[in-house]
Amino acid sequence: MTSKQWLEQTSSLLECTREHELTAQFMRTLQQQLCLSDCVLLVPSVDGRRLILSQFRADKRLKVDTEADWDVTDFSHPFAHVLQTGKPMVLDYFSLAYWREEVKFVQLVSGLPQEINLLMFPLIQDQHVSGLLIFAVSVVETKEMLQDQQWQHYCGVFMRHWQLLNTVASQSGQASFLADSLSQAKDEIRHQKSLKALSQILVGEADKMYKLRGEILRVSGTDLSVMVQGATGTGKELVAKAIHEHSQRHDEQFVAINCAAIPENLLESELFGYEKGAFSGAHAKKKGLIAQANKGTLFLDEIGDMPLNLQSKLLRVLESGHFRALGASKEEHSNFRLVAATHVNLKQRVDNGDFRRDLYYRLCQFPIHVPALSERLDDLSLLVNHFINGFNRHHRREITGVRYETLLKLKRHSYPGNVRELRNIIEYACALTSHHGELEVSALPEFESAELIDIRCVSSVEGDFGDIEDLRLAVAEFERQVIRDRLDKFKGDRAKAAMSLGMPKRTFSHKCLKLEINE
């Protein structure tokens, strides 16, 4: 081949932009221009410990095992020697007989006829062997190839371009790795910001509140139906709104309805809407809540009170998105996300046959439990201050806080109405407090005695003190007995026991640990 032809081949090699394409073209050109029957390219592995097959052309004389790789520290095959010396090596039929140790190598050359040599040619880049070409060529061809500078120059250009493409690929790999890390860091910052924003609305430092806020953010990134369960006044509607606000749907409507507050026959028309004249009193067409919630969120509070016939209609909308307004001839479509809430044990209703099982499971794609206030009494003072601040903002007052005795009294209440009840109590007390004052015990409403957590103050201790030899031990024993008694009384509920003894739960738990009480 002439210099001009090699030059043409070289420039078309330089047009390759992908490593695989470059190698394929290189091998094709070598095979065609040098009229080779076999031509194999091995390259070092990433860790540099092995030679692996990159490409091979034809397979007439060399029996190439595509799975095989070659340990470069194993000198039982000649490739490791070429790699080490950086010089070409030629093995004729007779000298090949010396290389019988490595089975893979014996297999590779087992089809070589007597007049054919094995020529191994290192590809050198920056004084390192970066590849190894293996040819099966005649004696004459071997001589010509070793003398021909032009194809060797072509090999040099290939190696440089190959390295360049590899560098570019690894740099773009690093760039995309950096971009990924950056976007992960941004996601994390966004997540933390959302958690902070949520903690201003769903106030609480109890572990259960952290868990709740985490669940809200997790589910708001999906379109799953959510079932919010919890006692009355625990904040179920706040949870539903928060899911909407943090979801992709936040620019659309949040439509809420309380299934228990609406008579059975009205609930259907409220949800599905109706056409003019659908029933007596339907003077004009009315869009239902399901249609209003299109692209937004539909919140069905007290879902447990939904009548059975409506439950099946709701299930159908949830499965297909299709529904028919009362008196309408055509179906409509609504793409809404459903959040349902209940304070009753819905599973129990399912078992009793009062609630459809299939609907129950469809609604519970992501169940969320909202804790009762009694499960997180340590949050009480935080909540009290939150409501005082809310009251101050709303009524332009500057009530400075709450007195310790007031807090103690608040802690003795059992809150059947949960956080809503606490909010009402605080708002009532704020209304009775002067502009810059603190909430006094006298500002609190009278609690029903049934709603008070029973506190039995130990006013007198009877016993024979004559036996006491170590006061500290005796006091510890007394504390142990009181705490055990209180834990028994509240069936192991540490929050209630702590409150009944007028101490924070953390201090109580610490005492239990010190006194070795494990109940």
Distances (CA, A) of 474 to 227, 459, 470, 485, 513: 52, 17, 6, 17, 17
Residue number with CB closer to ligand ATP (335 or 389): 389
CA R_g for the chain = 41
In sequence order, the 6+-apart residues with CB closer than 8 A to the CB of 88 are 82, 119, 120, 121, 122, 146
Give me the least distance between CB of 499 and ligand ATP, in Å please. Answer: 18
The least distance separating ligand ATP from the CB of residue 370, rounded to whole angstroms, comes to 6
CB of 306 to ligand ATP, least distance (A): 15
Tell me how far apart the alpha carbons of residues 208 and 213 are, in angstroms, rounded to a whole number: 9
Residue 116 or 419 with smaller CB distance to ligand ATP? 419
Residue 496 burial (C-beta neighbours within 10 Å; 0-12, 13-18, 19+): buried
Q: What residue type is assigned to position 60 of the chain?
A: K
Strands (E), 58-127: 69-71, 89-91, 116-125
Q: Tell me the closest approach of the beta carbon of residue 393 to ligand ATP, in angstroms.
A: 13
Please, which residue, 301 or 305, has the CB nearer to ligand ATP?
301
> What's the start-to-end Cα distance of the chain, in Å?
92
Residue with the closest Cβ to ligand ATP? 235
Secondary structure class of 109 (helix, strand, coil): helix
To ligand ATP, the closest distance from the beta carbon of 283 in angstroms equals 32
Q: Which residues of the shown chain bind ligand ATP in the complex (CB under 6 A)?
A: 202-204, 230, 232-238, 301, 343, 386, 419-420, 423
Q: Which is nearer to ligand ATP, 157 or 344 (CB)?
A: 344
Shortest approach of ligand ATP to residue 493 CB, angstroms? 20
Q: Decide whether 202 or 515 has the Cβ nearer to ligand ATP.
A: 202
Q: Given CA atoms 162, 164, 169, 173 in this order, what sign does their dihedral have?
A: positive
Which DSSP symbol is given to 504? -
Q: Residue 88 or residue 401: which is nearer to ligand ATP going by CB?
A: 401
By beta-carbon proximity to ligand ATP, the closer residue of 120 and 256 is 256
Work out how close the CB of 346 gets to ligand ATP at its nearest, in angstroms, rounded to a whole number.
13
SS3 475: helix
